[in-house]
């Protein structure tokens, strides 16, 4: 298959990654006891060995700032060199201000460093990565930090077994530059099918359902129709990948490492049926579904385990509420 030419490659280079997890590691065996279930029940239902849930005193923005500092340390990068911070979380820390401002408050970057949020639910990092590449190529910025943090445990509805067992909390950060133009995005695609908007939602937290409009406590919790979102997501993903591979002249055989969102056992099965296990970053058993933090946390795993190497081709891919499906093909 062909390689992207200089005219089709959107230059971007990853120069550091980092991650942060809450203090509490929650095993599925502990959840068995908490929920009054027989031993092994939660792991058999969720496919998770353990995940991390934030304590009441831990903040989403604090985890994001910790992940960013981890990336800065690993890359030996001066915090003052960051020109822009993009916060790519599926759920904001609060309605106002943007989560980026709350991260900047704790991140130790230069005074006045700009920041804003990008939200495409579970695909927020993927879209932020494309936006960062576009901004770097306008020369408006030289170095951008992308942080994704989500506390999914805060929205768990324990009365809904299907959705309650799959989530974990966490944060990850990626620092990018334009680079020398030889590394970058070979293909990007995002499709949204709004007929599935109600399949995966938290109805309150914005202007639609508030105490003044009769919001119920359950409106602040996560609701999911797993079967319907899986059917729509799989069909939409098949179409998106077919179009992306046609546009780029590539195929799964040309992808060295697949870095997916980590949605659920069934969601991961979609890729395990198409990609060899040694080419798939699967952190779901030890992290669960971390919403927007899943893809960058898996990307960090690819780097620290040596599977993301210069010259290799990665695919970042996943589904999200909306319903959206998306993928990035990235040449390192």
2 falls within a domain: no
129 falls within a domain: yes
Q: What is the arrangement of strands in the sheet containing 143-150, beginning at the earlier edge strand?
A: 13-20, 170-177, 143-150, 84-87, 115-117
What's the average model confidence in pLDDT over 77-92? Answer: 98
Residue 321 has pLDDT above 90, yes or no: yes
- CA 57, 62, 67: angle at the middle one, nearest 5? 135
Q: Residues 15, 75: contact at Cβ < 8 Å?
A: yes
Claim to verify: residue 148 and residue 28 sit in the same structural domain: yes
Claim to verify: residue 41 and residue 63 sit in the same structural domain: yes
Claim to verify: residue 204 and residue 326 sit in the same structural domain: yes
Name the band, by pLDDT with cuts 50, 70 and 90, for residue 2.
very low
What's the average model confidence in pLDDT over 313-329? Answer: 97
At 5 the pLDDT is 46
4 falls within a domain: no
What pLDDT, in 10s, does the model give residues 15-54? 999 999 999 999 999 999 999 999 999 999 999 999 999 9
Structural domain of residue 25, as residue ranges? 10-181
The domain boundary residue, chosen from 161, 181, 201: 181
* Domains held by the chain: number: 2
Name the band, by pLDDT with cuts 50, 70 and 90, for residue 7.
low
3 falls within a domain: no
Claim to verify: residue 272 and residue 298 sit in the same structural domain: yes
What pLDDT, in 10s, does the model give residues 190-248? 999 999 999 999 999 999 999 999 999 999 999 998 889 889 999 999 999 999 999 99
The DSSP 8-state label assigned to residue 142 in this structure reads S
Q: Residues 196, 207: contact at Cβ < 8 Å?
A: no
* Backbone φ and ψ of 72, nearest 5°: -60, -40
State the pTM of this model.
Answer: 0.96
Claim to verify: residue 276 and residue 315 sit in the same structural domain: yes
Q: Is 128 buried (19+), middle (13-18) or exposed (0-12) by CB count in 10 A?
A: buried
The domain boundary residue, chosen from 181, 215, 240: 181
16 falls within a domain: yes
Q: Residues 145, 125: contact at Cβ < 8 Å?
A: no
The domain boundary residue, chosen from 160, 181, 202: 181
3-state secondary structure of 46: helix
Distance CA 318, CA 123 (A): 7
Report the range of poorest mean pLDDT among 88-102, 175-189, 220-234.
220-234
In the chain, the DSSP E strands lie at 10-11, 13-20, 24-27, 50-53, 84-87, 115-117, 143-150, 170-177, 184-192, 200-201, 223-224, 257-260, 313-320, 324-331
* Backbone φ and ψ of 251, nearest 5°: -150, 175
Residue 107 has pLDDT above 50, yes or no: yes
- CATH assignment at residue 98: 3.40.47.10
1 falls within a domain: no
């Amino acid at each position: 298959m062909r390689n992207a030419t200089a005219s089709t490659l959107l230059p971007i280079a990853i120069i550091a990654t980092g991650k942060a997890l809450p203090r509490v590691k929650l095993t599925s065996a502990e959840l068995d006891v908490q929920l009054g279930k027989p031993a092994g029940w939660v792991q058999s239902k969720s496919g998770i060995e353990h995940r991390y849930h934030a304590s009441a005193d831990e903040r989403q923005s604090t985890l994001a700032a910790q992940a960013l500092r981890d990336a800065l340390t690993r890359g030996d990068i001066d915090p003052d060199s960051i020109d822009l911070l993009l916060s790519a979380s599926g759920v904001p820390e609060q309605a106002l201000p943007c989560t980026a401002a709350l991260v900047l408050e704790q991140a130790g970057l230069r005074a006045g460093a700009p920041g804003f949020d990008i939200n495409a639910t579970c695909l927020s990092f993927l879209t932020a990565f494309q936006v960062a590449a576009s901004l770097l190529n306008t020369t408006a910025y030289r170095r951008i930090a992308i942080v994704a943090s989500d506390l999914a445990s805060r929205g768990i509805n324990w009365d809904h077994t299907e959705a309650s067992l799959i989530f974990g909390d966490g944060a990850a950060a990626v620092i990018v530059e334009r680079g020398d133009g030889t590394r970058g995005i070979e293909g990007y695609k995002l499709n949204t099918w709004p007929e599935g908007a109600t399949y995966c939602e938290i109805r309150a937290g914005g202007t639609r359902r508030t105490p003044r409009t009769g919001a119920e406590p359950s409106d602040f919790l996560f609701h999911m129709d797993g079967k319907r979102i899986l059917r729509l997501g799989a069909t939409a993903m098949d179409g998106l990948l077919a179009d992306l591979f046609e546009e780029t002249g590539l195929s799964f055989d040309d992808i060295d490492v697949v870095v997916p969102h980590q949605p659920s056992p069934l969601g991961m099965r979609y890729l395990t049926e198409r990609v060899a296990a040694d080419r798939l970053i699967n952190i779901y058993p030890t992290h669960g579904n971390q919403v927007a933090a899943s893809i960058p946390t898996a990307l960090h795993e690819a780097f620290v385990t040596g599977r993301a190497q210069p010259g290799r081709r990665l695919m970042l891919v996943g589904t999200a509420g909306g319903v959206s499906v998306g993928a990035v093909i990235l040449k390192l």
